[in-house]
Structure 1
Amino acid sequence: MAIIVSCLSQKGGVTKTTMARLLAHAYASAGWRVKICDFDLKQKTATEWGARRMENGRKPEIEVQGFAGVPQALSQAAHYDMLVCDGRGFADTLTLELAQASHAIFLPSGLANDDLAPTVRLAHELKKAGVPARKLAVVLARTGDSAREIDDARDYISQAGYKVLSRTLSERQGYRLAHDAGRSAGEATHFTLRIAAKNLADEMAEHITENTKDEA
């Protein structure tokens, strides 16, 4: 039965799909059977990326499929080692359903209060609805060069009572170009960007392992 991982957000534009693609590529590269479940049927960002990846013959192959509901996606679990669920660009009942079905949940956020506050609100809402806080991990993304700004954002999340990963993902042209070509951030052409993305993927994997080790 597949491990279920979700990338969720209260708003769009916080690299939710970037994280889903990065994670799927990391596990697929390790030989896992991985499928990305795209729940944003209007934007179809992950689905269209999957099509570009296939057209360009990228390896490893990563299957991407759109789903309107959580039960339909979970019906695929027996055929894969991991389902990476890319939620909608807003929080709704489907967001809660995904969170409740997931072994681990990533909440990407930018550094501005406009991103941080909605992220914390979503974490509070999920926790109030019965989702264990230990499953949640905030990922800081679209970061710049200010270590102080990153530290302030990390403190904001920590003081709210939630885990925030130590690795971040910066805003770089190289990542955008990779996505345009059907690659993940972990397949960026520039070595430094590729390593930074790999380090983040490794830390995300550690969070997943922490939340699934009792089921192994």
Structure 2
Amino acid sequence: MADLDTQQATSAEWAELRAAAELVQAVEAVEAKSVKEALNLGRGYDVLIIDGRPHANSESIEAAERSNLAIIPTSNSFDDLKPSVNLAHALVDARIPLARIAFALSQVSTEAEAKNAREWLETTDYATLPSHLLYRPSWRRCGEEGTALTETRFQSVNDSARPLFDHITQQINN
């Protein structure tokens, strides 16, 4: 995983916590100052996840150009949905094929809100992954412990996160 947000470095810090906790399936994550550096650091790996900066910029477009899949995470809030769709528009304007862009609904409060967000996204030309992440308070600890959303202390919470990750894996493998 390459973390382009070097000021916050959330992904890189998460991987360090994971390594310190000696959790199985270690994740290598590094801070990268550019997409080019991220790609160089990712050589030799089967999958490279580029965690971009929070706002669309030329690096977002460059990362999407070089990727098999650009997943845009978004919550159900219109304040999040609108800029996410604007990012997708910017990618299409840069000639990224629609088939390589997908939304992932995350931190959704209720099933009804997920349904409403999905219906709104369906009015666009972009794909939305068929599952979503309902917000779970136990996920806050994941960032502090280096665990994945499928590795909490609660099996039902772990099981609720798995479908979205399975859909992402399917998209990558297509």
Residue 124 of structure 2: which of 155, 160, 183 is its match?
160
Taking the aligned partners of 2:43 and 2:6, their CA distance within structure 1 comes to 23
Matches within 5 A, 1:67-78: 67-78=32-43
- Give the conservation status (yes or no) of the 8 Å contact 1:179–1:185: no
Taking the aligned partners of 1:133 and 1:71, their CA distance within structure 2 comes to 23
Residue correspondences, number: 174
Taking the aligned partners of 2:41 and 2:14, their CA distance within structure 1 comes to 20
Q: Tell me the residue number matched to 2:170.
A: 206
Matches within 5 A, 1:152-191: 152-191=116-155
Taking the aligned partners of 1:159 and 1:184, their CA distance within structure 2 comes to 32
- Give the conservation status (yes or no) of the 8 Å contact 1:38–1:47: yes
TM-score by length of 1: 0.78
Taking the aligned partners of 2:171 and 2:152, their CA distance within structure 1 comes to 23
Q: Tell me the residue number matched to 1:10.
A: none
Q: Which runs of 4+ in 1 moved over 3 A?
A: none
Q: CA RMSD in A?
A: 1.1
Q: Tell me the residue number matched to 1:23.
A: none
Q: Tell me the residue number matched to 2:113.
A: 149
Displacement of 1:37 after TM fit? 0.4
Taking the aligned partners of 2:41 and 2:11, their CA distance within structure 1 comes to 17
Displacement of 1:142 after TM fit? 0.8
Q: Tell me the residue number matched to 1:196.
A: 160
Gaps of 5+ in 2: none
- Give the conservation status (yes or no) of the 8 Å contact 1:142–1:170: yes
Q: Tell me the residue number matched to 1:103.
A: 68
Displacement of 1:209 after TM fit? 1.7
- Give the conservation status (yes or no) of the 8 Å contact 1:142–1:169: yes
Displacement of 1:47 after TM fit? 1.0
* Residue-by-residue CA offset, 1:126-159 (whole Å, 9 max, x unaligned): 00110011011101111112x3321111011111
Q: Tell me the residue number matched to 1:47.
A: 12
Q: Tell me the residue number matched to 2:46.
A: 81
* Residue-by-residue CA offset, 1:38-95 (whole Å, 9 max, x unaligned): 0000001111111111111111111110000111111134321111110011111111
Taking the aligned partners of 2:133 and 2:12, their CA distance within structure 1 comes to 22
Displacement of 1:116 after TM fit? 0.7
Taking the aligned partners of 1:149 and 1:196, their CA distance within structure 2 comes to 16
DSSP-derived class of the 1:175 partner: helix
Change (3 A) 1:49 1:77: closer
Gaps of 5+ in 1: 1-35, 211-216
Taking the aligned partners of 1:136 and 1:98, their CA distance within structure 2 comes to 12
Q: Tell me the residue number matched to 1:59.
A: 24
DSSP-derived class of the 1:168 partner: strand
DSSP-derived class of the 1:165 partner: strand
